[in-house]
Amino acid sequence: MEQNIETLQKSGRVIYPPAELKAQAYIQDYEKAYKQSIEDPEKFWENVAKELHWFSPWNKVLEWNYPWAKWFVDATCNISYNCLDRHVQSWRKNKVAVIWVSEEGEERIFTYAELYRQVNKCANALKALGLNKGDRVTIYLPKIPEQIVAMLACARLGLIHSVVYSGFSAKALQARIQDAESKLVITADVGYDRSKTIPLKPVVDEAVKSCSTVEKVVVVQREKNGSALTSEKEIDWEDWLKNQSTHCEALQLDSETPLYILYTSGTTGKPKGVVHVHGGYMVGTYITTRYVFDLKDEDVYFCVADPGWVTGHSYIVYGPLLNGGTILTAEGKPDYPNPGRWWDLIERYGVSIFYTTPTAVRLLMKFGEEWPAKYDLSSLRVLGSVGEPINPEAWEWFYRVTGSNKPIMDTWWQTETGSILVTPLPCVPLKPGSATRPFLGIEADVVDRDGNSIEHGGGFAVIKKPWPSMMRTIYNDPDRYLLYWNTIKGCYTAGDVCHKDKDGYLWFMGRADDVVKVAGNRIGTAEVESALVSHEAVVEAAVIGKPHKTAGEMIKAFVILKEGHTETPDLIQQLQDHVLNELGKIAVPKEVEIVSSLPKTRSGKIMRRVLKAKELGQDPGDISTLEE
Ligand code: WT7
């Protein structure tokens, strides 16, 4: 770890934001604004909340019953109303809300008024199915506008959406539908990936076979020929919306009404359903989008995420729409049809804010600077990075090819935190590789195991006070929620290792637990292990993350075979295919090594730390508990 910290800080360069940018930014003096916000965080958040629409006001800003929080107590609101109605009633009515482009260059543009109409039709269609406040809806769609429409329509009625990334396998989808007990699944016939057609409907068919709660399946049909509908309970999206009215009153919901469940990986084999609520989440995503990216009405904001992950929820859909922003979203990958794809979109649509990931930057680096050099990127003014630490080399490259004057907001946060918690603002001096300082109103710190603050040096990342967009619980599993607040006394433990330098800048170093970040996607080693041992040839498996040049980390599995099975290339392939089936493409181990034993503690726990150290040729540290 120490070694990592050194490489990260090697460049030691400080980059000051361009004066013009700073001069027009919402926040021009971070130190002053931060100090003020921290002196009275409730006042700070209350003032932010006042910028949004509430049907009725709160009696209390925060009710903190450690570790359970309620924000904007007894107020009523609706995030969908704030994303749409508020703008439709203003001059923004005919402003562009969403520009969507397909891989093949098809373009769909939604003004606020048009998005409002589509969402309202969809909400009426949901109502027509008899769905009621609190019911769960699973959305398993590729990155198409219907995904956004469906999310906002659910929110409008107080239905809880559970968006599942369309790269997940039938088994993974099934587990998520079952845990949420969804009544409805919204899907599409296919997705497209580098011009390949990816069938999605068959995945849903397979998944819902054993989901007794699912009453209906709505299908967006993208392919021209034939119909993907195969049973009575299936409805075509177009037919579903066709005769619905373009107005559906947004429900006046208590601010603590659940908005969504989003499943993410942890340290056990079972993914956890992170629950976010209307009021606090709305306040957090609204103000972070505004201050971090300095989002203004004139901007074209391009976030490359997929709403299947939390970045898409908070920074494609909710945050930007709450601000009345113009969002560009594109289906497909950064290198298809060529590595100029995103640079071309930036030039074509005059993108001014570009939010991407370290993995994508490293991928584009491989193709060379000649690709960005072909395009006019002068419309850009603020850049963003998220999902994993961005190494200074990738940081510098991204900065240089975009003109050496657009600051990169390295935003640290998690599915659980709902919105960005540690990040520069466009007025903060940058150190490449550091997410810099806490956002306003956020008390982030680095502490030792006992919770003592570390003045400077390495330790665990924690948040010391509740914040509005924090998760409220883990669906069906409150004990797992408690763990976040009970691991280190008195604070929220993020699960990240972090280094604080002498200027108070935070350098996030990766996970402290058994979670691996492959291309920014969070994968629990325990999930991959349990998938592997469910294969008939496997007795035991241990999975670790290994550094990888573009993906950041890759998965390596160590497997013990059952008696009678021998190692062959075919078997390795079978094991990889098995994980593909059980979990999906992102969880497939790139390397599988057959071994005869695994390092374990006396109580039988696999010591992944020891495996990892051995694999990387490092010192395994304390191995006194090692049995063999
Ligand atoms: C984990 C959360 C945040 C939305 C997308 C991922 C890592 C995230 C950064 C960053 C260093 C980062 C952490 C965190 N992470 N952003 N800017 N610098 N690490 O959300 O899947 O819930 O993952 O991603 O390890 O704990 P997620």
Q: Is the pLDDT at 137 greater than 60, yes or no?
A: yes
Q: With CA atoms as reference, report the closest residue to 427 among 10, 5, 26.
A: 26
Cα 457 to ligand 1 centroid, rounded to whole Å:
20
151 class by beta-carbon count within 10 Å (0-12 exposed, 13-18 middle, 19+ buried): buried
8 A C-beta contact, residue 589 and residue 580: no
pTM for the full model? 0.95
b/e burial code for range 572-603 (CB count within 10 A of at least 16 → b): beebbebbebbbbebbbbeebebbeebbbeee
Tell me whether strands 190-193 and 196-199 are parallel, antiparallel or unpaired: antiparallel
**495 Cβ inside 6 Å of ligand 1:** yes
Mean pLDDT of the chain: 95
**387 Cβ inside 6 Å of ligand 1:** yes
Question: Residue 250: its pLDDT value, please?
Answer: 98
Q: With CA atoms as reference, report the closest residue to 140 among 122, 163, 171, 119.
A: 163
Cα 388 to ligand 1 centroid, rounded to whole Å:
5
Q: What is the mean pLDDT of residues 465-469?
A: 98
Q: Enter the DSSP assignment of 562.
A: P
Question: Residue 9: its pLDDT value, please?
Answer: 55
**388 Cβ inside 6 Å of ligand 1:** yes
Q: Is the pLDDT at 175 greater than 70, yes or no?
A: yes
Q: What is the mean pLDDT of residues 507-517?
A: 93
Nearest CA to ligand 1 atom 23: 414
Residues 6+ away with beta carbon under 8 Å from 478: none
**411 Cβ inside 6 Å of ligand 1:** yes
Name the token pair of 315: 């920074």
Q: How far apart are CA 49 and CA 118, in angstroms?
A: 27
Q: Where are the alpha helices (DSSP H) in 181-249?
A: 201-208, 237-242
Residue 479's φ and ψ, nearest 5 degrees, are -60, -35
Q: Is the pLDDT at 288 greater than 60, yes or no?
A: yes
**412 Cβ inside 6 Å of ligand 1:** yes
**DSSP code string of 373-439:** HTS--TT--EEEEESSPPPHHHHHHHHHHTTS-S-EEEEB--TTT-S--B---TTSPB-TT--BSBP
Question: Residue 2: its pLDDT value, please?
Answer: 41
**413 Cβ inside 6 Å of ligand 1:** yes
Q: Over the stretch 58-80, which tens digit does the pLDDT of each residue have?
A: 999 999 999 999 999 999 999 99
Question: Residue 11: its pLDDT value, please?
Answer: 57
8 A C-beta contact, residue 72 and residue 79: no
Residue 619: half-sphere exposure toward Cβ, Cα within 13 Å: 5
Question: In ligand 1, which atom is closest to the CA atom of 522?
Answer: 21
Q: How far apart are CA 218 and CA 237, in angstroms?
A: 6
Q: How far apart are CA 627 and CA 289, in angstroms?
A: 50
Q: Over the stretch 214-249, which tens digit does the pLDDT of each residue have?
A: 999 999 999 988 788 999 999 999 999 999 999 999
Q: Is the pLDDT at 3 greater than 70, yes or no?
A: no
Q: What is the mean pLDDT of residues 438-444?
A: 98
8 A C-beta contact, residue 573 and residue 592: no
8 A C-beta contact, residue 168 and residue 583: yes
Question: Residue 523: its pLDDT value, please?
Answer: 94
Q: Which one of 266-270, 352-356, 512-516 scores highest in mean pLDDT? A: 352-356
8 A C-beta contact, residue 532 and residue 538: yes
Q: With CA atoms as reference, report the closest residue to 319 among 148, 169, 454.
A: 148
Residue 249's φ and ψ, nearest 5 degrees, are -55, 130
Name the token pair of 231: 């049973």
Question: In ligand 1, which atom is closest to the CA atom of 311?
Answer: 4
Quote the distance between the C-alpha of residue 502 and its chain's center.
Answer: 30
Q: Over the stretch 564-612, which tens digit does the pLDDT of each residue have?
A: 999 999 999 999 999 999 999 999 999 999 999 999 888 888 889 899 9
**310 Cβ inside 6 Å of ligand 1:** yes
Question: Residue 5: its pLDDT value, please?
Answer: 45
Residues 6+ away with beta carbon under 8 Å from 61: 42, 43, 45, 46, 49, 71, 72, 73
**522 Cβ inside 6 Å of ligand 1:** yes
**311 Cβ inside 6 Å of ligand 1:** yes
- Name the band, by pLDDT with cuts 50, 70 and 90, for residue 269: confident
CA distances to 268, 309, 607 from 526, rounded to whole Å, are: 5, 20, 12
Portion of the chain with pLDDT greater than 70, in percent: 98
Cα 53 to ligand 1 centroid, rounded to whole Å:
30
Question: Residue 7: its pLDDT value, please?
Answer: 45
8 A C-beta contact, residue 614 and residue 542: no
Which residue pairs, CB below 8 angstroms and at least 24 apart, start in 596-600? 596/560, 597/560, 597/628, 598/540, 598/542, 598/558, 598/560, 599/626, 599/627, 599/628, 600/626, 600/627, 600/628
**396 Cβ inside 6 Å of ligand 1:** no
